């Protein structure tokens, strides 16, 4: 019989299907990981290039605006009316007259300074005049600077000297200053081509930006990191931005940085779409592969499973289970080889059974012939003595008793052999109490010479010991167990006693037989219930315990050696109360051809 002690294991088709799923899942995950990384890398490169283009756009705009401002300043500086205004050298007159020139220029910022660079008039819509004068005065001291932050507003400006006469030979009357506001409209123009957001950062403060309010905080938090990296990824909520910055400190005279940033949102959407597409493709591949694998597994593993079932059936005693004839070349080869092996094993088993049968018959004949010769010799010798006419009547009676005992012994031995040979066949199980059969077996065994000097005691039970029993076979089984116990007790050097007790529960009835003998030898405990095992006995066929075991098995029970030591050996016979199917492995099969 095949053993399952190592567990059922994994079916081949399950292993193949699991392997396919793992391969497809690993491939899909790897593809998603590689595609995501490549896509993000490529998206960053594209965004970086677009942002660099926006920086270049800013540089172009800045250059054009400065050029325009310089031209406008040159035109204003050439106006006689402006020169005449500056010759007055009166700050109030100049401030009042500057308003008309500011409106005429159309610039966001307009200012006039004297020849020493002192601001006399400054006009803009957003900032109060005195504040603007003060901030502008600090900036124009360096001619390389052209950015101004005043009153929270940012301007890009240009300064042009104003001469009376020509620039080379004339007299310096003052300076004309005009500029444009750097506001959201300007930043939108910078980032329009790339669809980016822009901001000017001064120090750690956002001067002006196109970012909405909820995203300004994320940029504000990342300002310290902008000075350490030309490219930086920041996160605003669930949205990621790539930022590129340009340092304008040298042109402004104060910490100033242009920041252009663009969202990864479009790239992330494309990435999610690709991920869904790859995942769906992977699932379809997994489904198609699973169907294909199931078909292949059916072609490959079904014959293997049939072969495994055939091996199991053969192990369980069914040598006619059909083996697969289809499948792969290897499976058909295995099936053919196993069929040959099965035939060889059957032939070998038949030969072994025949050999065992002959050996069993030989052991039985040897045992039976020895006992028969013993009994027949007693009958023959005593019959010769009885033939003598000179024997007195009392000696004749003794000789007759010995002949009767020899005949009874022969009859008992033959009855044992007959019952052993018929075990399992023609049983007549009827409801009766185990105690009644035990009493009859005890009364019978007390007449046996081997019980002489042995105290045989029965312990009654108040339990119901009724069971479906074959009276003749069960009485013989109990008789053999009791006789075996008495023979063992006679070998004791102390008290010679055998105690039989009956117990029961809802499903079984048991008889325990305890003797005070020396115990069962270690060498025969494993084979105690095998036929013809009679170590330590001077006579007997060795079938007593085997018969008891077989009868108990036919009654849905068993006979066990519960314990064995010097002075106390316990055998227990247990049977089922009901007529349940009994195990069909009696040891008497060794005697059947």
Instruction: Look at residue 575 and tell me if it is in a domain.
Output: yes
Instruction: Look at residue 485 and tell me if it is in a domain.
Output: yes
Model confidence pLDDT, tens digit, residues 286-302: 788 778 777 776 777 77
Instruction: Look at residue 152 and tell me if it is in a domain.
Output: yes
With pLDDT > 90 as the criterion, what percentage of the chain qualifies?
Answer: 5
| Three-class secondary structure of residue 301 per DSSP | helix
Instruction: Look at residue 555 and tell me if it is in a domain.
Output: yes
Model confidence pLDDT, tens digit, residues 329-339: 777 777 788 78
Q: Find the farthest-apart pair of alpha carbons in the chain and give their distance in angstroms, rounded.
A: 192
Among the ranges given (415-424, 476-485, 514-523), the one the predictor scored with the smallest mean pLDDT: 415-424
Instruction: Look at residue 338 and tell me if it is in a domain.
Output: no
Chosen domain end from 182, 212, 237: 182
Please, which pLDDT band fits residue 372 given cuts at 50, 70 and 90? low
Distance (Å, whole) CA 479 – CA 472: 10
No. of helices (H) and no. of strands (E), the chain:
13, 17
pLDDT at 95 over 70: yes
- Binning the chain into helix, strand and coil, the percentages to the nearest 5 are 55, 20, 25
Burial of 212 (0-12, 13-18, 19+ CB in 10 A): exposed
pLDDT at 420: 57
Q: The domain containing residue 452 runs over which residues?
A: 429-591
| Three-class secondary structure of residue 89 per DSSP | coil
pLDDT at 532 over 60: no
Q: Residue 500 maps to which CATH number? A: 3.30.565.10
List the beta bridge partners of residue 241.
234, 263
Tell me if 145 sits within 8 A of 157, measured CB to CB: no
Model confidence pLDDT, tens digit, residues 196-226: 788 888 887 888 888 877 777 777 777 777 7
Report DSSP letters for 306-374, one per residue: HHHHHHHHHHTT-TTPPPP--S-HHHHHHHHHHHHHHHHHHHHHHHHHHHHHHHHHHHHHHHHHHHHHH
Chosen domain end from 158, 182, 206: 182
Instruction: Look at residue 558 and tell me if it is in a domain.
Output: yes
Structure tokens at 453: 């000097």
Model confidence pLDDT, tens digit, residues 399-444: 777 777 667 667 766 666 666 555 544 567 889 999 999 998 888 8
| Residue of higher predicted confidence among 534 and 37 | 37
Structure tokens at 570: 């316990």
* Maximum average pLDDT range among 396-410, 487-501, 570-584: 487-501
Distance (Å, whole) CA 593 – CA 583: 20
Chosen domain end from 182, 208, 236: 182
pLDDT at 1: 39
| Residue of higher predicted confidence among 484 and 350 | 484
Among the ranges given (228-237, 560-569, 576-585), the one the predictor scored with the smallest mean pLDDT: 576-585
Instruction: Look at residue 541 and tell me if it is in a domain.
Output: yes
Instruction: Look at residue 86 and tell me if it is in a domain.
Output: yes
Distance (Å, whole) CA 149 – CA 151: 7
- Give helix 393-422 / helix 471-489 axis angle, nearest 10°: 120
Q: CB-based contacts of 304: which residues, under 8 Å, 6+ apart?
A: 12, 327, 331
Among the ranges given (211-220, 366-375, 505-514), the one the predictor scored with the smallest mean pLDDT: 366-375
Q: Residue 158 maps to which CATH number? A: 3.30.450.220
Report DSSP letters for 112-174, one per residue: EEETT--EEEEEESSS-HHHHHHHHHHHTTSTT--EEEETTEEEEEEEEEEEES-TTTSEEEE
Tell me if 364 sits within 8 A of 591, measured CB to CB: yes
* Mean pLDDT, residues 53-67 taken together: 83
pLDDT at 414: 66
pLDDT at 501: 92
pLDDT at 157 over 70: yes
Please, which pLDDT band fits residue 59 given cuts at 50, 70 and 90? confident
Residue 143: closest CA among 155, 130, 160: 160
Task: From residue 28, give the alpha-carbon distance in Å to each of 144, 269, 275, 284, 574.
Answer: 59, 19, 9, 11, 65
The residue length of the chain stands at: 593
Model confidence pLDDT, tens digit, residues 218-250: 777 777 777 666 677 877 777 788 888 888 888
pLDDT at 380: 65
Please, which pLDDT band fits residue 510 given cuts at 50, 70 and 90? very high
| Residue of higher predicted confidence among 387 and 52 | 52
Count Cβ neighbours within 10 Å for each residue of 86-95 and write b for 16 or more, e otherwise.
beeeeeeebb
Average pLDDT, the chain: 78
Structure tokens at 209: 């930006």
Structural domain count, the chain: 2
Report which secondary-structure segment, H or E, holds 504.
strand 497-504
Query: In Å, how far from its chain's centre is CA 251?
Result: 65
pLDDT at 489 over 50: yes
Among the ranges given (27-41, 299-313, 349-363), the one the predictor scored with the smallest mean pLDDT: 349-363
Q: Are strands 508-515 and 558-565 parallel, antiparallel or unpaired?
A: unpaired
* Maximum average pLDDT range among 37-51, 85-99, 313-327, 521-535: 85-99
């Amino acid at each position: 019989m095949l053993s399952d002690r190592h567990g059922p294991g994994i079916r081949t088709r399950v292993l193949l299907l699991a392997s396919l799923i793992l391969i497809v899942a690993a491939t899909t995950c790897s593809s998603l990981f590689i595609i995501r990384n490549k896509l993000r890398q490529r998206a960053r490169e594209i965004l970086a290039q677009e942002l660099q283009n926006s920086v270049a756009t800013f540089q172009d705009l800045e250059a054009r605006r400065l050029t325009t401002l310089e031209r406008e300043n040159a035109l204003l500086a050439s106006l006689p009316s402006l020169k005449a205004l500056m010759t007055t050298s009166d700050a109030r007159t100049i401030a009042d007259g500057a308003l008309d020139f500011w409106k005429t220029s159309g610039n966001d910022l307009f200012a006039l300074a004297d020849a020493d660079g002192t601001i006399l008039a400054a006009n803009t819509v957003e900032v109060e005049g005195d504040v603007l004068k003060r901030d502008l005065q600090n900036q124009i001291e360096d001619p390389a600077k052209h950015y101004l932050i005043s009153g929270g507003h940012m301007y890009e400006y240009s300064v042009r000297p104003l001469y009376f006469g020509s620039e080379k030979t004339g007299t310096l009357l003052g300076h004309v200053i005009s500029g444009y506001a750097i506001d959201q409209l300007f930043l939108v123009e910078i980032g329009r081509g790339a669809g980016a957001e822009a901001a000017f950062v001064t120090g750690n403060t956002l001067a002006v930006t196109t970012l909405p309010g909820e995203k300004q905080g994320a940029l504000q938090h990342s300002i310290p990191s902008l000075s350490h990296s030309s490219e930086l990824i920041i996160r605003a909520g669930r949205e990621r931005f790539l930022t590129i910055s340009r340092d304008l400190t040298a042109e402004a005279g104060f910490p100033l940085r242009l920041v252009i940033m663009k969202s990864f949102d479009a790239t992330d959407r494309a990435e999610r779409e690709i991920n869904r597409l790859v995942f769906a493709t992977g699932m379809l591949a997994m489904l198609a592969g699973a169907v294909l694998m199931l078909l292949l597994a059916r072609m490959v593993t079904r014959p293997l499973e049939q072969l495994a079932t055939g091996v199991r059936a053969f192990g369980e005693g069914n040598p006619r289970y059909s083996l697969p004839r289809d499948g792969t070349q290897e499976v058909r080869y295995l099936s053919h080889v196993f069929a040959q092996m099965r035939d060889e094993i059957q032939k070998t088993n038949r030969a072994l059974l025949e050999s065992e049968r002959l050996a069993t018959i030989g052991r039985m004949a040897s045992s039976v012939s020895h006992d028969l010769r013993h009994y027949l010799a007693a009958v023959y010798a005593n019959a010769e003595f009885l033939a003598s006419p000179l024997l007195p009547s009392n000696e004749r009676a003794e000789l007759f008793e010995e002949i009767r005992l020899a005949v009874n012994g022969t009859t008992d031995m033959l009855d044992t052999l007959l019952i052993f040979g018929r075990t399992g066949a023609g049983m007549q199980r009827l409801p009766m109490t185990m105690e009644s059969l035990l009493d009859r077996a005890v009364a019978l065994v007390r007449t046996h010479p081997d019980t002489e000097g042995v105290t045989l005691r029965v312990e009654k039970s108040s339990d119901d010991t009724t069971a479906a029993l074959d009276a003749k076979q069960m009485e013989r089984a109990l008789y053999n167990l009791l006789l075996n116990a008495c023979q063992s007790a006679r070998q004791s050097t102390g008290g010679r006693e055998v105690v039989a007790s009956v117990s029961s529960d809802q499903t079984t009835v048991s008889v325990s037989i305890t003797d005070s003998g020396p115990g069962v030898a270690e060498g025969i405990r494993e084979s105690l219930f095998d036929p013809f095992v009679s170590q330590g006995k001077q006579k007997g066929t060795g079938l007593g315990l085997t018969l008891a075991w077989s009868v108990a098995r036919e009654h849905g029970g068993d006979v066990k050696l519960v314990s064995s030591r010097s002075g106390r050996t316990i055998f227990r016979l247990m049977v089922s109360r009901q007529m349940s199917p009994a195990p069909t492995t009696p040891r008497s099969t060794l005697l059947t051809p």
